[in-house]
Amino acid sequence: MARPTSATIHLDALRHNLGQVRALAPRSRAMAVVKADGYGHGLERVARALAGADAFGVAALSDAERLRAAGISQPILLLSGFDEPSDIERLRALNVWTAVHHVSQIEMLEQALPGEPLDCWLKLDSGMHRLGFAPEAFRAAYERLSAMRGGTVGDIVLMNHFASSDEFADSPSQGVQTREQLDVFRATTAGLDAGHSLANSAAVLGWPEAHGTWIRPGGALYGMSVVEGRTGADFGLRPAMTLSTRLIAVNRVRRGSRIGYAGTWECPEDMDIGVAAIGYGDGYPRAAPAGTPVRVAGHHTQVIGRVSMDLMTVDLRGVPGAKVGDPVTLWGEDLPVEIIAERAGTIGYELTCSITRRVRFIER
Ligand SMILES: *Cc1c(COP(=O)(O)O)cnc(C)c1O
């Protein structure tokens, strides 16, 4: 029998989530961020399901190539821009827009041979201090790009990225960094004749004033929230991935027995233990401790012992009649990936991105 471990991707949930996001930002165009293989959901699959998006955002030129090869015709933005002069020809051939965040990119554009104009998203570092021009260098960068308009450069959009937009505007004690970033963005771009793009998912959900011309949601489209203590469902989003497997053993174990590697979990009574065909070799986090929720045959129960590479053990007290072959849900509907991630000390994005190649993907 084939290994029963699968990731089911809910195409209707992806479409539903795009609708939710659009309803929240009705005056903005929506770029669906599909980097990292569509946050692990499958790049081409996600792009086809989200055909209603106005554009796609990727982090690698090779992803743009994959999208074009799959027949995706919407605009595509390379979110961190190009790295070397030969990339400019590839961008033109693929009709892909590029972020411009560093003076080295402007120099490469100035030295490029004539060709199709490239739309450029000029990135301001408004306070995250990752990519982007410092405020004092931004206007000069804009002038240099503008001077190439109609030649190497087509349209210009002004963008930034938020560091803490998961702290919302609706509470005065919170959102200080986002408020500062917004102020810097406004002051630096005042009077420049170009569209604006500021908002990632959290800013779409919690910072209406930052919606601008283009929103750039990623996680929300997959049904995930990065807002502490709140899951996608709290914002009307639906999880786009269900990770599941089956029990391959049910064993009676005596009180005092210690389960799994290093014997970290001790049975408090005689009890049934289930062994599920999933582990960190499939992308389930090894860091998920005993007590992490899991569903077996529709019943909520918990992980016990250490997660190993191919297997994990689950508590079958409270799962009446549990037997080999019973379905096990690791995350999905009624079991938000954000909850599992929180137990494992990370965010849902990292978990969905980490599903490995031996997991079978199913579209539904
Ligand atoms: C990843 C990314 C996004 C999307 O962020 P989410 O939190 O997934 O919505 C938006 N913009 C840029 C530049 C990004 O790198």
Whose CA is closest to atom 4 on ligand 1?
Answer: 218
Distance 98 CA to ligand 1 centre (A): 15
132 and 68 assigned to the same domain: yes
pLDDT tops 70 at residue 1: no
Distance 160 CA to ligand 1 centre (A): 10
Nearest C-alpha neighbor of 31 from the set 94, 113, 99, 92? 99
CA 250/CA 247 separation, integer angstroms: 7
**CATH code where residue 248 lies:** 2.40.37.10
241 is in an annotated binding site: no
The helix/strand/coil state of 14 is: helix
pLDDT tops 80 at residue 171: no
On whether residue 234 sits in a domain, the answer given is: no
CA 364/CA 14 separation, integer angstroms: 11
On whether residue 4 sits in a domain, the answer given is: no
Give the domain-ending residue among 226, 258, 281.
226
Give the domain-ending residue among 203, 226, 249.
226
Question: Which atom of ligand 1 approaches the CA of 349 most closely?
Answer: 8
Query: N- to C-terminal Cα distance for the chain?
Result: 22
Which residues lie closer than 8 Å to 316 by C-beta, 6 or more apart?
Answer: 250, 271, 272, 273, 274, 296, 301, 322
Please state, for a pLDDT cut of 70, what percent of the chain lies above it. 100
pTM of this structure: 0.97
Choosing from 39, 123, 142, 261, the catalytic residue is 261
79 lines ligand 1 (CB under 6 A): yes
Question: Which atom of ligand 1 approaches the CA of 33 most closely?
Answer: 4
Choosing from 35, 142, 284, 349, the catalytic residue is 35
77 lines ligand 1 (CB under 6 A): no
Rounded to the nearest integer, the mean pLDDT of the chain is: 97
Full residue range of the structural domain in which residue 72 is found: 11-226
Question: Could you give the number of structural domains in the chain?
Answer: 2
pLDDT confidence of 173, banded at 50, 70, 90? confident
15 is in an annotated binding site: no
Residue 174 has a pLDDT of: 83
Sign of the C-alpha dihedral, residues 17, 23, 24, 30? Answer: positive
Q: What is the arithmetic mean of pLDDT over 174-197? A: 96
On whether residue 271 sits in a domain, the answer given is: yes
80 and 178 assigned to the same domain: yes
pLDDT tops 90 at residue 271: yes
Q: Is 323 known to be catalytic? A: no
Angle at 290 between CA 287 and CA 294, to 5 degrees: 95
